[in-house]
């Protein structure tokens, strides 16, 4: 009986040692995995073109590990996109015409899309194969931490020099200009604002709207450009606050309120005005939207595209992601986007009709955007809330 007890005791002890050993091995693996993580910070590596200016705030993610697990399935890629729904549908149809159903699209506004990507990066859980939308600031931040695939499309060789980014793991796809919009029922090109600074004039008291930079990455880029334009001070925002500017969540809301006559003036990207005017003509009514090219420089905003780095991505999906980027940068796709008012980055695609050849342009300095983002956001909030 004693011998039997001893045998049972020895067996229990051996089992316990084996179990503990496996647990320690698994814990070691988890520790090794944890040691490979680090955090993106809000810094950028952009180059300024022409007049400078910046884009939406973020707290640095706590992890930057390239995904070791592929979240999708072989033969189909996930693409995160912002932009006009009709344009995106047409592009998807063209790309899939010869390939079949190979894309899952997540479509959102530029601000929400940027927030989604940032949250996923922070959680070390980037779900997209391709990210196309928002503004360059988040791409520089993701690239800084090695989260973008280094793929370089040959299509970039056809880009105009100002749109080439040789040191970045992403490419610019198109551009748009911020313009001064007015209601044609009450104003004309002579009586409407001629420059951004005109919006601070008291004649626009209770007659203008401005997009909330906390809800729109486009509005943040615009706001940083205006901050830079007015001596790196909040002068412009103090001026429109004094005029009781209506703060709205997105640029289209500004256009809608001008169209309805609720307000008279505001700032909206040119492509949105082009599309709304075209839509009104097609539907048989006169648009109330007019606009002026700002004499102090139309602010140019670019939209990038990138492949998210994932070492576990199946080769066929990596090939699809590269093909999609090539397609978006191709002359065929660029000509399609031209019809929606977007300025092409290619030198062999014509300029959008209606944009002056001698247009004075202000560009965004994305390095300044990264350094000044939090301050601009906080100051904007304080001014608009009256604090």
Distance in angstroms (rounded) separating the CA atoms of residues 305 and 163:
13
93: Cβ–Cβ under 8 A, 6 or more apart, which residues? none
Q: What is the mean pLDDT of residues 93-112?
A: 95
- pLDDT number for residue 113: 93
Distance in angstroms (rounded) separating the CA atoms of residues 165 and 21:
51
- pLDDT number for residue 154: 98
In this predicted structure, the answer to whether residue 132 has a pLDDT above a threshold of 60 is yes
Cβ neighbours, 10 Å, residue 217: 24
Of 57-61, 62-66, 156-160, minimum mean pLDDT range: 57-61
- pLDDT number for residue 239: 98
Orientation angle between helical segments 366-385 and 217-229, nearest 10 degrees = 90
In this predicted structure, the answer to whether residue 240 has a pLDDT above a threshold of 80 is yes
Cβ burial of 246 (10 Å; 0-12, 13-18, 19+) is middle
- pLDDT number for residue 120: 96
Q: Check if the beta carbon of residue 183 is closer than 8 Å to that of residue 291.
A: no
How confident is the model over 154-178, as pLDDT tens digits? 999 999 999 999 999 999 999 999 9
Beta-ladder partners of 247: 210
What CATH number was assigned to the domain covering residues 176-299+377-385? 3.40.190.10
- pLDDT number for residue 24: 37
Task: Quote the strand ranges of the chain, DSSP E.
Answer: 77-81, 103-107, 130-132, 171-183, 209-211, 246-248, 265-269, 289-292, 298-307, 343-344, 361-363
- pLDDT number for residue 387: 66
- pLDDT number for residue 46: 29
Distance in angstroms (rounded) separating the CA atoms of residues 367 and 373:
10
Which of residues 364 and 198 earns the better pLDDT score? Answer: 198
- Return the domain boundaries, the chain: 77-174+302-357, 176-299+377-385
Cβ burial of 285 (10 Å; 0-12, 13-18, 19+) is exposed
Distance in angstroms (rounded) separating the CA atoms of residues 292 and 308:
38
In this predicted structure, the answer to whether residue 370 has a pLDDT above a threshold of 50 is yes
3-state SS of the chain: helix, strand, coil percent to 5? Answer: 45, 15, 40
pTM: 0.81
Ramachandran sector of residue 357 (left: φ over 0; alpha: ψ -120 to 50; beta: rest): alpha
- pLDDT number for residue 26: 35
To the question of domain 77-174+302-357 being in CATH 3.40.190.10, the answer is yes
Q: Label residue 369 by pLDDT band (50, 70, 90).
A: confident
Tokens describing residue 43: 């810094």
Residues of the chain above pLDDT 90, percent: 75
Q: What is the mean pLDDT of residues 105-126?
A: 93
Q: Pick from 79, 43, 44, 41: which is nearest to 168 by CA? A: 44
Distance in angstroms (rounded) separating the CA atoms of residues 113 and 250:
13
How confident is the model over 284-307, as pLDDT tens digits? 999 999 999 999 999 999 999 999
Greatest mean pLDDT among 234-243, 275-284, 358-367 lies in: 234-243
Distance in angstroms (rounded) separating the CA atoms of residues 54 and 228:
8
Q: How far is CA 81 from the centre of its chain?
A: 9
DSSP string, 182-234: EETTT--TTTS-SSGGGGGSGGGTTSBEEE-TTT-HHHHHHHHHHHHHTTSSS
In this predicted structure, the answer to whether residue 84 has a pLDDT above a threshold of 70 is yes
Burial 96-125 (b: 16+ CB within 10 A, else e): eeeeeebbebebbbbbbbbbbbbebbbebe
In this predicted structure, the answer to whether residue 47 has a pLDDT above a threshold of 50 is no
Average pLDDT, the chain: 86
How many CA within 13 A on the CB side of residue 244? 7
CA dist 142 → 107, 159, 364, 367 (Å): 20, 23, 18, 14
DSSP state of 358: T
In this predicted structure, the answer to whether residue 43 has a pLDDT above a threshold of 70 is no
DSSP strand pairing (289-292 vs 246-248):
unpaired
- pLDDT number for residue 57: 46
Q: Label residue 371 by pLDDT band (50, 70, 90).
A: confident
Q: What is the mean pLDDT of residues 270-278?
A: 95
Length of the chain: 387
Say if 77-174+302-357 and 176-299+377-385 have the same CATH topology: yes
């Amino acid at each position: 009986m004693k011998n039997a007890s001893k045998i049972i005791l020895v067996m229990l002890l051996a089992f316990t040692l084996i179990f503990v050993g496996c647990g320690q091995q698994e814990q070691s693996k988890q520790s090794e995995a944890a040691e490979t993580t680090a955090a993106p910070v809000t810094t950028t590596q952009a180059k300024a073109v022409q007049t400078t200016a910046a884009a939406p705030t973020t707290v640095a993610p706590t992890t930057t590990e390239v995904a070791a697990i592929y979240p999708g399935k072989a033969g189909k890629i996930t693409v995160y996109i912002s932009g006009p729904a009709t344009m995106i549908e047409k592009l998807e149809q063209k790309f899939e015409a010869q390939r079949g159903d190979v894309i899952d699209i997540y479509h959102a506004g530029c601000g929400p899309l940027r927030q989604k990507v940032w949250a996923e990066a922070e959680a070390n859980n980037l779900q997209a194969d391709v990210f196309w939308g928002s503004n360059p600031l988040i791409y520089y931040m993701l690239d800084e931490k090695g989260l973008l695939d280094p793929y370089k499309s040959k299509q970039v060789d056809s880009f105009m020099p100002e749109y080439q980014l040789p040191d970045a793991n992403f490419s610019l796809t198109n551009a748009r200009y911020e313009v001064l919009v007015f209601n044609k029922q009450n104003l004309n090109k002579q009586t409407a604002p001629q420059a951004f600074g005109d919006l601070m004039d008291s004649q626009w008291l209770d007659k203008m709207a401005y997009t909330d930079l906390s809800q729109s990455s486009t509005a943040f880029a615009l706001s940083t450009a205006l901050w830079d334009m007015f001596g790196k001070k909040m002068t412009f925002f103090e001026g429109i606050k004094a005029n009781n500017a209506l703060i709205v969540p997105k640029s289209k809301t500004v256009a809608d309120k001008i169209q309805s006559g609720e307000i008279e003036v505001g700032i909206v990207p040119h492509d949105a005005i082009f599309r709304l005017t075209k839509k009104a003509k097609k539907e048989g009514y006169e648009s109330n939207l007019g606009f002026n090219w700002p004499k102090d420089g139309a602010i140019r905003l670019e939209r990038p595209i990138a492949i998210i780095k994932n070492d576990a991505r199946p080769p066929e999906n990596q090939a699809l992601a590269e093909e999609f980027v090539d397609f978006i940068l191709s002359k065929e796709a660029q000509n399609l986007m031209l019809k929606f008012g977007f300025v092409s980055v290619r030198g062999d695609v014509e300029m959008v009709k209606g944009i002056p050849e001698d247009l004075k342009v202000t560009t965004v300095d994305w390095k300044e955007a990264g350094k000044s983002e939090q301050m601009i956001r906080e100051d904007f909030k304080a001014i608009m809330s009256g604090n």
